[in-house]
Structure 1
């Protein structure tokens, strides 16, 4: 088995639905990721961005009716790469976030690894 490009990275997982959160966290663990979270709400996500050393983040767009965009703003300010994991179409995202990587739910581990690694390379110049 090959080593994942994500091995050893600390990635924040923001997801408000329990079963998808557990499933994605497990996929990330299998890729060698240290998962921060999953965190289910906007306040916890904002705190995690402020308190944790992160290599990247995976953000569900809708957290119990609240948009995750304040978290995305804070990640941008910290130059921390992130991607959106959502069932929504691209047009739902504010214009400034439409060029960010997006995983369409549902997704498999290979897609998760590919899109997450690309999002991190994009910021880190790879």
Structure 2
């Protein structure tokens, strides 16, 4: 019998590549998080960022060729932590958010866990 884990929190996930979004959602669930909402397009992400309850977000920097900044602004205004996911390295982050945690794609489960823990710890300080 497997031991039941208490949920660690809920995540808002923005990623335009469906297969990557599914993979990250699986990784989050493996780490004990639930996915509160998912978006693959900027306008949908803005709407969900405004209306969905979540503990933190993971944001793809480039969503269908559009920069994620409008979504990050909504989440920042709600005082929720967020992590960027990018294939471009930290130089690919929007300039005003270069101090935020970033995952370099592709990433492993252990790296995701470490970035989430760091982001959540810094948000509670």
TM-score, normalised to structure 2, is: 0.90
Secondary structure of 2:103's counterpart equals strand
- How far apart are the structure 2 equivalents of 1:112 and 1:37? 18
User: Which of 1 and 2 has higher RCO (CA within 8 Å, sep 6+)?
Assistant: 1
Corresponding residue for 1:112? Answer: 112
- How far apart are the structure 2 equivalents of 1:106 and 1:39? 19
Write the deviation string for residues 27-56 of structure 1: whole angstroms up to 9, x where unpaired: 001111110233101111111111111110
Q: How many matched pairs?
A: 124
List runs of 5+ in structure 2 lacking aligned partners.
none
In the TM superposition, structure 1's runs of 4+ consecutive aligned residues that sit over 4 Å from their partners are: 1-4
List runs of 5+ in structure 1 lacking aligned partners.
none
Corresponding residue for 2:48? Answer: 48
User: Once superposed, what is the RMSD of the aligned Cα atoms?
Assistant: 2.0
Matches within 5 A, 1:34-45: 34-45=34-45
Corresponding residue for 2:96? Answer: 96
TM-score, normalised to structure 1, is: 0.90
Q: Do the aligned partners of 2:61 and 2:92 also contact (CA within 8 Å) in 1?
A: no
